Homo-oligomer: A and B are copies of this chain.
């Protein structure tokens, strides 16, 4: 046998073993303990049963590997979004760091309010003010430079109330869910209203999700050659808003097929869940309901951040699973390192 055919045989055997492992895992029952931080109950069961249904070979509802796409919102679904979106905290820190180069910001809204830590005054400016902060803090550098800035910030910044790095404000049950799905042949994607280039630098290490499986909002970039070295310059112009009806658009644009499972927590995820669960055959939608004011935050219909209103009203009729954080999750955050 040549080394080439030997290699071929090895590949075939491993492929076979992997497919067996993947496709029978779901039939192993409770001793497999795939989601240790989840309490037993209808929410956990709905996940485990759905995965069994689509990964059991010879089942009429079996779904081939390539079609096993699972999409996850980030803010409030994979990590904590209170008391403000993490990316806004990043923008504020950036504005403060850049302020010495911009003396005019001392008196100019919304920058002056940021520099005085007056978040309420910032919010008075609404979306336009936030957009201005994002452009001032996220544009004007190359993609490589922005990557380094985001990486350094996330390495050092800490959540104001939970008092730990933001990368440890992710939800332990969701980390287990991501692994569980991947071990069953799912490709896991982030589909976030946040900026794609803000999430990519740390998503692989924290969630096991590579850069090409992160979809998010974006600003335009321009290809420029400087001294024979090409760079991509980030421009202060919106390219795409990956929120609400934009989420199915972003999914089609980048993945090119309808997901099998969708996970969100706010009405910004409504259309993503709607698009996913109205597809043919078995589909799965889940909303994280923030009910745990003690261990995390409690908010839903009235919240300005992560409002969950329509989703909560329609979840039952649409057969979406709703996670009650207080009762469904044994632990919320991973052990601090």
A-side residues, CB < 8 A to B, are 2-4, 7, 10-11, 14, 17-18, 21, 25, 28, 31-34, 66, 143, 183, 187, 196-197, 200, 204, 210-212, 214, 218, 221-223, 225, 228-230, 232, 239, 245-246, 248-249, 252-257, 271, 274-275, 278
Contacts and interface: CB of A to CB of B under 8 A. Distances in A.
A256 B14 contact: no
Given A2-B32, A211-B255, 8 more contacts: A4-B32, A11-B18, A197-B256, A212-B256, A218-B253, A221-B249, A222-B249, A254-B254
Given A223-B271, A229-B278, A254-B212, A21 B7 contact: yes
Contacts of A2: 31-32
Contacts of A257: 211-212
26 contacts: A2-B31, A3-B31, A3-B32, A4-B31, A7-B28, A11-B18, A11-B21, A14-B21, A66-B210, A143-B252, A211-B257, A212-B254, A214-B256, A221-B253, A223-B248, A223-B271, A223-B275, A228-B278, A230-B248, A230-B274, A230-B278, A232-B248, A232-B249, A232-B252, A239-B253, A254-B254
Given A4-B28, A271-B230, A275-B230, A255 B221 contact: no
Nearest to A210: B66
The DSSP consensus for interface residues of chain A is helix
A191 B222 CA distance: 17
